[in-house]
Structure 1
Amino acid sequence: MSKKLKFYAVTHDILGDVFWEVFRRGLLDAAARFDVDVEHLRPGKFSPEIQAGLIDGARHARPDGIISTVPDVAAVEGALKAAIADGIPVICVNAKDSRPEGERIPYLFYIGGDDFNAGELAGRYLLEHVKPRAAMCVDHYLYQHICHSDRWHGFKSAFDKAGVPAERLRVPGGQPEECAEAVAKYMESNPNVDAVLTLGPPGAQAVLDAEAIVGAGRTWKHLTFDVAQLQLDGIRSGRIMATIDSQQYLQGFLAVQHMWMHKTQGFTLAADIYTGPAIVDLSNIDEAEQGVKAGTR
C-alpha cells in the first residue's frame, strides 16, 4: 500500500478574516477529493518573518509539496528556496513574487488573483459610476503587503489616468474600533473624498462603522474586495456598490489538485492561473450569496 501524500499550506492570515476560512475550505475539500493529507500553517497575525519560520518547519517535515503565499519576498524567499533546493515542489497562491521569470522564487506556478488589474478594475468601476472628486483606499495592513500594494497601485493608476486624486490610508486590521476611528477622522478631514475602496472584510467593516461616527451629512460611495456576507449585505442595502472577487476557494482547491497531479502524474503548467478579478454587484449577487452559504465564496 502506497503512502498517502502529505502537503503543507503556509499562509499569512489575519485572524478573523473570513476570506481565509473559504480558502481553507478549498484546501480541505481538495484533500478529501484526491485522498491526500493537507496541513495548514498560519502565523495568526501578519508577520512574513513568522511565516518564513513556518515554511522552514514544513520543509524539515519533508512533505511531498508546499503551497505558500508570498506576501513579502524578502522575508520568505530564503525559506522557499531552501525547500525547493531540497527537492520539495512549491506552488505559490494568493500573493506572488512579481519579479520576472529567472529572478523570482522558482516555484512551479502561481494560482490567485491578478491584483494590479483588480485594483484598476475597481478604479474604473468607481469612475464610471460615481464621477468622484477624490478617492481614498483603506489598506487594513499597516505593513507592506504585495497583494494590497498591487491593488492600491492599480487603483491609483486608474485615477491618475482620469486626473482624479487618490490617497491610501493604512489602518490596523484586527482592531475594529481603531480602524473605524481612523477612517472617520480621515473622511472628516477630507470633505472632497466621495469614493472609497477597501481591500477586504476588515477594511470594509471599518468604513461601514465609520459612517455612524461621521454622521448622516457626510456620504461616499464604497467599493470593496472579497465576497463574504458582510459585503453582500452591504451591496443589498446600498451601502456598498460592488466587490471584487478573487475566488479564494479555487486558490486552495486548485493548488492541492495541481500539486497532486504534479506528484502522481508529472503534470505542471506553462503559465499562472488567475482566479480573479471578477465584479460582484446587484446584477449577480444571488449566485455569489449561494456560494457564501455553501462556504465556497
Structure 2
Amino acid sequence: MSMRPKRLKFYAVTHDILGDVFWEVFRNGLMDAAQRYDVDVEHLRPGKFSPEVQAGLIEGATFALPDGIISTIPEIAAVDAPLRNAIARGIPVIAINAKDPRPKGERIPYLFYIGGDDTNAGRIAGDYLINETSPRAGMCVDHYLYEHICHSDRYRGFDQAFFAKGLPVDRLRVPGGDAEACAQAVATYLMENESVNAVVTLGPPGAQAVLDARKLLPPQRKWSHITFDVAQLQIDGIRSGEIVATIDSQQYLQGYLSVQQMWMHVAQGFTMADDIYTGPAVVDARNIDAAEAGVRRGIR
C-alpha cells in the first residue's frame, strides 16, 4: 500500500492596509496558484499597516513549521529577526512586493524577491509626467504615515526624475484609512502650494484622496495626476482624464509566482538565480482596455 505524499503548506504574510484592493488581487494570485499546484496556502495579514503586528504573524507562521513562508518586508527593523529565525529553522522564505534593499551579504537571506522595481517605477512615473505634461513642481501623496520601503523607493525614483530636470518635489503623508482626512490634507496642501501642478500617488487610497480633493478646490486649480497600481478607481480616472497614467506592478503575478516558485523549490529543488520583477508597467489611455479586462477578471 503506497503512502500518499504530504500536502505542502505555505504561509503568505503581508502588510495589508484596509480598503486597498491591491491585496485582494494579490490574494487571487495566491489562491489560483495554490489550486494549480495542489498546495495549502494560508494568508496572514494584520488588517492595518503595522510591521510589528506582521512580525508577530511571521513568528506564528514559523511556529507552525510550514514548508515555506512568503513575506513582504515593509520595514527591516520589525521583520528582520523573525524572518531570519524562520530561515534558521530550515523554512525557505521568498520575499514579495517589498524587499530588503541591503546588499546580499547583509540582507535577510531569503531565496529571492518577486515584485516591482520600485525605484525604477518612481523614475518612470516622474519621466512620464515630465514628457507628457508641463510640470513646475511636484508632490507625492503617501498614504502611509510610517516609513515603508517600497513607498520610499517610489518617492526616491520620482524625486530623481524631477531633480534631473531641476524641478522641486515634496512628499505629503496622509492617513490612508481615513478617506475624508486624506482628501482634506491634499486639498489644503494644493491650496497652499500653487506652483505644484504634478501629483504622484502611491496606490488606490492616495489616488482616491487626490480625486476627492479636486471636489474641495475651485475648478481653476489644476494639476496632472499619475498613480500606482491598477484598480477600477484608476481605470475610471484615466478614462475621465483625471489621471494621466498608472504604474502597474502586476500583483496577481506576485501572488501566483510566489506560490509557483515556492512549490518549484520545495517539490522540485529549483531556485531562481536572481530576483523576479513583475513591474513597472505603464497603463494609460493607449492600453486601458486590456487593463480593465484584467480588473474585471480579478487579475489586475
User: Which of 74, 84, 88 is equivalent to 1:81?
Assistant: 84
Paired with 2:212 and 2:18, the residues of 1 have a C-alpha distance of 19
| Amino acid corresponding to residue 83 of structure 2 in structure 1 | L
Q: Give 1:130 deviation, angstroms.
A: 1.1
Paired with 2:39 and 2:268, the residues of 1 have a C-alpha distance of 15
Pairing of 1:154-169 with structure 2 (within 5 A): 154-169=157-172
- In the other structure, the counterpart of 1:267 is 270
Paired with 1:14 and 1:211, the residues of 2 have a C-alpha distance of 24
Identical columns (%): 71
- In the other structure, the counterpart of 2:227 is 224
Paired with 1:111 and 1:160, the residues of 2 have a C-alpha distance of 29
SS at match of 1:46: coil
Pairing of 1:193-204 with structure 2 (within 5 A): 193-204=196-207
Q: Give 1:46 deviation, angstroms.
A: 0.4
SS at match of 1:52: helix
Q: Give 1:217 deviation, angstroms.
A: 1.5
Q: Give 1:254 deviation, angstroms.
A: 0.1
2:5 pairs with 1:2: yes
SS at match of 1:193: coil
2:67 pairs with 1:64: yes
User: Which of 261, 284, 287 is equivalent to 2:287?
Assistant: 284
Paired with 2:110 and 2:260, the residues of 1 have a C-alpha distance of 16
2:52 pairs with 1:49: yes
Taking structure 2 as the reference length, the TM-score comes to 0.99
| Amino acid corresponding to residue 194 of structure 1 in structure 2 | N
- In the other structure, the counterpart of 1:151 is 154
2:192 pairs with 1:181: no
SS at match of 1:53: helix
SS at match of 1:158: helix
Give the root-mean-square deviation of aligned CA atoms: 0.4
Q: Give 1:2 deviation, angstroms.
A: 1.2
Aligned residues: 297
| Amino acid corresponding to residue 246 of structure 1 in structure 2 | S
Paired with 2:148 and 2:66, the residues of 1 have a C-alpha distance of 27
* CA distances 1:154-187 after superposition (whole Å, capped 9, x unpaired): 0000000000001000000010000000000000
Q: Which runs of 5+ in 2 are unaligned?
A: none
Taking structure 1 as the reference length, the TM-score comes to 1.00
Q: Give 1:3 deviation, angstroms.
A: 1.2
- In the other structure, the counterpart of 1:102 is 105
SS at match of 1:227: coil
2:35 pairs with 1:32: yes
Paired with 1:215 and 1:6, the residues of 2 have a C-alpha distance of 54
Q: Which runs of 5+ in 1 are unaligned?
A: none
Q: Give 1:215 deviation, angstroms.
A: 2.0
